[in-house]
Amino acid sequence: MSEMKKKMILFMITLGFIVLFISGCGNSNDTDKTSNDSEEVISFRLGQSKAATHPVSLGIDKFAELVKEKTNGEIVVETFHDGTIGDDREVIEGAQQGTLDFASSSTPNMASFTNYFIAWDLPYIFENKEEVYKAVDGKPGDVIREELEKSGFKVIFFPDYGFRQVVNNVRPIIEPNDLKGLKVRTTNSPVEQADFEAMGAVPTPMSWNEVYTGLQQGTIEAEGNSYSLLWSTKHQEVLKYATEVNYNYSSDIVVMNKAIFDNLSPEHQQIIMEAGQEAVEWQRDVANEQEAEAKQKFIDFGIEVYEPSDEEMKKWKQAVESVWDEFIVPGEAEPEYVEIILETLGKTQDDIFK
């Protein structure tokens, strides 16, 4: 055999080993890729409009933290506050359509999906936080959860928002009659608008991100909101007076696109629901603490806070009793659902307004 042929054979053998080696490395990489794929992080986005320091936002961040912890990092929920990816309506519609995984909104903005939320808006249907939690955690909350699934939502939890107080920059408000003629910003809730009409005010529906400027420029003169939200958004700078009447409790709601939720493994579904339950228990304590702190900050800032007496509170309640008669009709605040709430709380309409 010639020297040239020997070199050629040696070259071919060497080349074969090289090909086999590269092939083996390639198989090893494919195995690693499969392994990495099976451990791929599932990333979700959650959008909402409140300031990052608000108790609702803190509860949402706690939820995201718990999900990551309980799944050992397999699921990461990225939270977006301050309306950075949309206001309440926009993020809720995104969650319904699946362009957003999770969304949070105040419940009045959910009334277009189920009129059961109209009952939650009735003035003084909830008179304290104990009643709120009893209803939300009980049958009334379960009815809402089931109903919203028909619209493509999986309810994860209801963050505690708080009771709305009447605040303004014109004059002290002692009784409902003192509101006469004041331009009061309201949500799109027809019930809240009716509340202020019954009090003699001029209800003015306005997007939340326009309220500060509206108060500053005189487009509106008053609003109804919780101390914590008002303080976290610096509304104390454009307000002078507050009257603590708890005329309306507003809850928030965190929902997930139901199809996306259903596509998760049973284990991950259970973890998300557990994280929601733990987050809301933690968040309620934070919300109550921050509400008390924010009230004191209002006082320290120089806002006059008036707390009506028991006799004065009867006047506030009686001023809006007609709103119940207006809205507790089929197609609005469903009479049967209102009765479920009252039975759960162990009281009647007469008990509230007597």
181-192 pLDDT per residue, tens: 999 999 888 999
**Together in a domain, 193 and 262:** no
pLDDT confidence of 220, banded at 50, 70, 90? very high
For residue 1, name the pLDDT band (cuts at 50, 70, 90): low
Q: Identify the domain boundary among 259, 290, 321.
A: 290
Q: What pLDDT, on the 0 to 100 scale, is given for residue 344?
A: 98
314 and 180 part of one domain:
yes
pLDDT value for 9? 47
CA distance from start to end of the chain: 117
Would residue 206 count as lying in a domain? Answer: yes
Residues whose CB is less than 8 angstroms from the CB of residue 184 and which lie 6 or more positions away in sequence, other chains included: 166, 168, 196, 201, 202, 203, 204, 220, 221, 222, 223, 224
Mean pLDDT across the chain:
90
- Number of domain units in the chain: 2
pLDDT digits (tens, 9 = 90+) for 116-159: 999 999 999 999 999 999 999 999 999 999 999 999 999 999 99
Phi then psi for residue 182, to 5 deg, are: -75, 140
The rounded Cα 239 to chain-centroid distance in angstroms is 25
The model's pLDDT over 90-126, given as tens digits with 9 standing for 90+, comes to 999 999 999 999 999 989 888 889 999 999 999 999 9
pLDDT grade for 24, boundaries at 50, 70 and 90 = very low
What proportion of the chain, given as a percentage, has pLDDT over 90?
A: 82
Range from 21-25, 58-62, 328-332 carrying the lowest mean pLDDT? 21-25
Provide the domain limits for residue 311: 162-250+293-353
Q: What's the pLDDT score for residue 170?
A: 98
Find out whether 92 and 103 touch, Cβ atoms under 8 Å: yes
Q: Is residue 19 part of a domain?
A: no
Answer whether residue 245 shows pLDDT above 90.
Answer: yes
Rounded CA gap, 305 and 308, in Å? 10
Structure-block tokens of residue 334 = 């469903």
Alpha helices in the chain (DSSP H): 3-38, 55-70, 88-97, 116-121, 129-137, 139-149, 190-198, 211-217, 227-232, 258-262, 266-301, 310-319, 321-327, 335-345, 349-353
Domain contains 332: yes
Report the candidate in 48, 37, 66, 188 with the shortest Cα–Cα distance to residue 118: 188
Q: How confident is the model at residue 296 (pLDDT cuts 50, 70, 90)?
A: very high
CA atoms of 7 and 297, how far apart (whole Å): 90
> Do the domain assignments include residue 26?
no
- Is residue 17 in a domain? no
Q: Are residues 51 and 146 in the same domain?
A: yes
**Would you state the pLDDT for residue 82?**
92
